[in-house]
A and B are shown apart, each in its own frame.
Chain A
């Protein structure tokens, strides 16, 4: 889909990490700002990090006005991404439903819905009767330990084909002149008098004045190469998928109280996710605790799926910050930028973060 290039001895911008954040930044740098002498260096294959391992949920019904607006911009970009990139990213806006199992979550949901509406975002609290209509396989009786009492309903939310987003951005960026270097590991950043002058890679040195760290779970290691410390701890997040069955679940269903969520792919598999592992790690091994915990929670929500079989489970690395907020911008080292800390929710932000980071770089860019 894109050409293989020799590593040039110099680039205007070196982006570290070939996930959705790095590739979207490269694409918008080229498309919106005409900055095309750009390299994306990826130590493995593109999408090998969180961007190829996530559960692909997109939404914008956040609790703050700023958050809602930011993610709404991402949804708008996702809505026309297929035509922008000339690549089918299979964005399906099936609606996103967050279940409430008690009065206090219902209260917060009302608050969220009002904040969202003020930003022009489709978001509302719905009753059990409406939940039953939208997702008849949910157990809406009094049987579960934590019965469902209502939900926050967000029609523009949905799922997108994560690999297609990664490949689409890569292909479109490459067509505009960006070099995408897979199997090219960053091993050092050259800093002179608090200013970036180049990088060292497994394929040789590159001189550059601008480096953007888009490495998510590995963000601390890359920043340390420039002498920058980040408030980040790396934790695995696991997901699992069942065998495919006939389509029966249309919206994305999330239960915060049960630490679980589920959606059905176009191919018919149920995709499940959860919360991060209980301890920090750079290991992407799955655990039995995850699958047993997941199964018990899912059966509380949807007892009808008890005979379905899991096909696979996997883990990806998440860059967790103390306040769960991302870290975007310049650092104490001139020319060294970060777009990290996206933790468990950064796929949906890929387009808007790429667009914003590209604008930030372009506004301060020194022509070479």
Chain B
């Protein structure tokens, strides 16, 4: 069980959120398929602190950027993603 402190809704259990995965900069739409493939599938999957995106699906329905240690599940930063949620 994780408790995520949503900047809009306050502390909530992780099952209110949907996990979107590690944040990888999104390439521009006209880039070539190899780069899109890397963006979509090739994960660094690091062990330790990771920047990742979550969606508060059963709350404010905002996308959040979270820094989480995926070994201890400690969370140190939660920020709402501004503008286009996909960036």
A281 within 8 A of B: yes
Cβ of B73 < 8 Å from any Cβ of A? yes
Asked whether B27 is an interface residue with its Cβ less than 8 Å from the other chain, the reply is no
- When the two chains form their complex, are residues A231 and B42 in contact, meaning their CB atoms are under 8 A apart? yes
Decide: A221 near B1, CB < 8 A? Known: A233-B21, A283-B70, A322-B41.
Answer: no
Within 8 A of B (CB), among A228-284: 229-234, 278-283
Judged by a CB distance under 8 angstroms, whether A288 is at the interface is: yes
19 extra interface residue pairs, beta carbon distance < 8 Å, beyond A229-B44, A234-B47, A280-B52: A220-B43, A221-B46, A221-B47, A229-B38, A230-B45, A232-B45, A233-B22, A233-B43, A278-B15, A278-B19, A279-B2, A280-B19, A281-B70, A281-B71, A282-B70, A282-B71, A283-B70, A283-B72, A287-B1
A229 B42 Cβ-Cβ under 8 A: yes
Residue numbers of B with Cβ under 8 A of A are 1-2, 14-15, 18-19, 21-22, 38, 40-47, 52, 70-73
Q: Which chain A residues lie closer than 8 Å to B43 at the CB level?
A: 220, 229-233
Q: List 6 A-B contacts (CB under 8 A).
A: A231-B42, A233-B45, A278-B18, A280-B52, A280-B70, A281-B70
Once bound together, how far apart are the Cα atoms of A285 and B47, in whole Å? 15
Q: How far is the CB of A158 from chain B (nearest CB, A)?
A: 33
Q: How many residues of A contact B (CB 8 A)?
A: 21
Instruction: Specify which of B18, B44, B47 lies most central, judged by the most chain A CB atoms within 10 Å of its CB.
Output: B47
Which A-B residue pairs are the 4 nearest by beta carbons?
A: A220-B45, A279-B19, A231-B41, A229-B42
Flag if A280 contacts B45 (CB, 8 Å). yes
Residues of A within 8 A of B (CB): 218, 220-221, 224, 229-234, 278-283, 285, 287-289, 322
B14 & A279 in contact (Cβ 8 Å cutoff): yes
The CA-CA distance from A230 to B45 in the complex, in Å, is 9
A232 to B43, alpha carbons, bound, how many Å?
A: 6
Chain B residue at minimum C-beta to C-beta distance from A278: B19
Specify which chain B residues have a CB less than 8 angstroms from the CB of A224 in the assembled complex.
44
Residues of B within 8 A of A279 (CB): 2, 14, 19
Task: Tell me if A289 and B1 are in contact (CB < 8 A).
Answer: yes
Q: How far is the CA of A197 from the CA of B29 in the complex (A)?
A: 40
